[in-house]
Homo-oligomer: A and B are copies of this chain.
Amino acid sequence: MLTIGKLGEAAGVKVPTIRYYEQIGLLPEPDRSAGNQRLYGQSALDRLAFIRHARELGFPLDAIRDLLSLSDRPDQSCAAADVIARAQLAEVESRLARLTALKGELERMVVQCAGGRIADCRVIEVLGDHSLCATDHQHPESEAAS
A residues in contact (CB < 8 Å) with B: 46, 49-50, 53-58, 67, 70-71, 73-79, 81-82, 84-86, 88-89, 92-93, 95-96, 99-100, 102-103, 105-107, 109-110, 113, 115-121, 123-124, 126-130, 133, 137-146
- What CA separation (Å) do A59 and B124 show in the bound complex? 13
Number of copies: 2
Q: How far is the CB of A112 from chain B (nearest CB, A)?
A: 10
Q: How far is the CB of A1 from chain B (nearest CB, A)?
A: 21
- What CA separation (Å) do A67 and B73 show in the bound complex? 53
Report 22 cross-chain contacts, Cβ distance below 8 Å, ordered by A residue.
A49-B130, A55-B139, A58-B99, A67-B124, A71-B127, A73-B118, A75-B118, A77-B116, A77-B118, A78-B123, A81-B113, A81-B124, A82-B115, A82-B123, A84-B123, A86-B110, A92-B99, A92-B102, A96-B103, A139-B144, A140-B143, A142-B143
Q: How far is the CB of A140 from chain B (nearest CB, A)?
A: 5
Additional pairs, 13, CB under 8 Å, beyond known A67-B123, A139-B144, A139-B146:
A53-B129, A53-B130, A57-B105, A78-B113, A78-B118, A82-B123, A85-B109, A139-B145, A140-B144, A140-B145, A141-B145, A141-B146, A142-B143
